[in-house]
Amino acid sequence: MHRLFLLGLALALTSPLVAAPNILFILADDLGYGDLGSYGQKQILTPHLDRLAAQGTRFTQVYAGSSVCAPSRCCLMTGMHNGNARIRDNIPHGVTLQDEDVTIGKVLKTADYRTGAIGKWSLGVHPSPGQPDNQGFDFFYGHQDQDQAHFYYPDHLWENNRVVLLPGNRGERKQQYTQDLFTERALHFISEPSDRPFFLYLAYTLPHWSDYPLKSDESQIVPSDAPYTGRDWPQVEKNYAAMVSMLDRDVGRLMDALEEKGLTKDTLIFFTSDNGPSAEAKHKPAFFNSAAEFRGTKRDLYEGGIRVPMIVSWPGQVPAGKVSDEIWTQWDLLPTLAEVAGAKVTHRIDGHSILPALKGDQAPQHEYLYWDYGHTRGLFKQAVRQGNWKAVRNGTDQPVELYEVAYDRQETQDVAAAHPEVVARLTALMDSASTPHPDYPIAPPKAPAKKKAP
C-alpha cells in the first residue's frame, strides 16, 4: 500500500494538470484590426466574435508574420520570422515548403493529435513537398493554390490529394460558395469521434477581395448582401460587410457545435487575420475604418498592415473578458501550441512560447520583432520593433523612419532625427535579421540620378 501511494503521488506530481486540449485555429483573410465590434467596429455586426472575445482574452498588440498572405502563413506555420522563413513573398510562384521544414502540423502529430487543414493553404501545391499531407496534416480540404483562393465559386477544390469537382459552379452557375463548404467540412471534422485531441487549422478566405467574374462591378462576391441590403452604402461596401458578418456567423456555428458536444472547456480557440485590410479593390478600408486608427494597409509595414486582431478562448485557462496589451507574434504560435500539447521543439525557430500570456501572466519578450516585404517587386521594405520603438524603411535607398509606437500608434511623428542612436541600433538589426535566400534577392539601392549638365 505504501509503495502504491508513493507511485500515485509521483504520477500526480509529474503528470500535466490539464489534458492536452483540442485546438481550433481560425484565420481570416485580409480582415482589418478594426473590422470587429470588440475592436471598435460600429457598423459591421460581429456578435459571435464579440461573444468569443467576452469568453476569452482580446489581445491588442499581436502581429502577423507579413503584410501579405503566403509569407504570413509561412511564418505562422513554421515559427520563423520573414527574414528566415522559407516563403517570404507571394511571388515568385513555385516556392513551397520542403520536407525538412517543420510545421505546427508535424509538431502536433508527435503529440498524437488528429490534424486537419481547411480553406486556403498557400504553402505548396500538388505535387510538391509543401502540400498539406506532406506537412503534418491528416486531412485537407480547400485551395492549395493561393491564386485559386480568389474565387468564391470555383469549379473545383482539393480534398487531400484529389480534385473535387463542384458541378454547381460550372458555366455561369453560382451554387456552391466556398465559405459554406469550408464551414460544413470544419463542423464534420470536429464532430468525428476520436480518442485523440484535434488540431484544426481553418483558414477562411473571407473577406479577401475578389474580381471574379472579372467584369463584375461589385468586386466582392457574396450570395447576399444581407443584413445590409437597405443601408445607404455603395454596393461593394454592403458586400464587404456581408462577408465579415458571414465569417462571424460561421464562427458562431462552430462555437455552438463545440458546446453541443461538450467540448467548449476542452478546446483552445484562436481567431485572427493574416494581415491588414486590402486597399487594392473597389472596397475602401476607410469606409468602415477597417485599419482602426493605424496607418497603412495590406503590403505596408506600418501598423495597419501587420497588426491584427487576436482573440483567444480556453475556458478555465485563458482569462475571460480580459484585454491584454502583451506584445507577441504569429511566429510564436508553433512553440506555444507545442507547449500546450506537451510536444518538443528541437530545431531552431524565431518564435517562443507565449503560453504565460495566454493564461494572463507575462511571457518573455523578444529582443526585437522583424518584418520585410517586396523582394521581387524592386522595393524591399523592412520594419523592426524593439520595445516601444518601431523603425520602418520603405526601400533600401530610403531613410529609416522611427516611431515610438506605444504613444504614437498612428505613426505620424517620425522622431529619427532626435534619436540617432536608436536609429543606428534598429538599422543594424534590419541589416542582420534577414538570412540571404536565392529565391528572394534583396533589391540593391538605386543609384542617385545624375545631374544634367547646364
Boundary residue ending a domain (312, 329, 358): 358
Boundary residue ending a domain (339, 358, 377): 358
Specify burial of residue 176 (Cβ count, 10 A radius: 0-12, 13-18, 19+). middle
CATH number assigned to the domain comprising residue 269: 3.40.720.10
Whether residues 428 and 333 fall in one domain: no
CATH number assigned to the domain comprising residue 403: 3.30.1120.10
SS3 of residue 185 by DSSP: helix
Q: Give the total number of structural domains in the chain.
A: 2
- Residue 272's H or E segment, with its range, is strand 267-273
Cα–Cα distance between 63 and 61 in angstroms, integer? 7
Domain holding 411, by residue range, is: 369-433
Contact criterion met (CB below 8 Å) for 358 and 57: yes
Whether residues 121 and 171 fall in one domain: yes
Distance of CA 346 to the CA centre of its chain: 24
From first to last of the 454 residues of the chain, give the pLDDT tens digit: 344 333 333 333 333 446 899 999 999 999 999 999 999 999 999 999 999 999 999 999 999 999 999 999 999 999 999 999 999 999 888 999 999 999 999 999 999 999 999 999 999 999 999 999 999 999 999 999 999 999 999 999 999 999 999 999 999 899 999 999 999 999 999 999 999 999 999 999 999 987 655 555 555 689 999 999 999 999 999 999 999 999 999 999 999 999 999 999 999 999 999 999 999 888 899 999 999 999 999 999 999 999 999 999 999 999 999 999 999 999 999 999 999 999 999 999 999 999 999 999 999 999 999 999 997 666 899 999 999 999 999 998 899 999 999 999 999 999 999 999 999 999 999 999 999 999 998 766 555 445 455 4
CA pseudo-torsion sign 51, 55, 56, 59: positive
Whether residues 314 and 393 fall in one domain: no
Boundary residue ending a domain (358, 384, 405): 358
SS3 of residue 53 by DSSP: helix
pTM: 0.93
Whether residues 350 and 411 fall in one domain: no
Residue spans of beta strands (DSSP E) within 64-177? 114-120, 139-143, 156-159, 162-165
Inside any domain, residue 442 = no
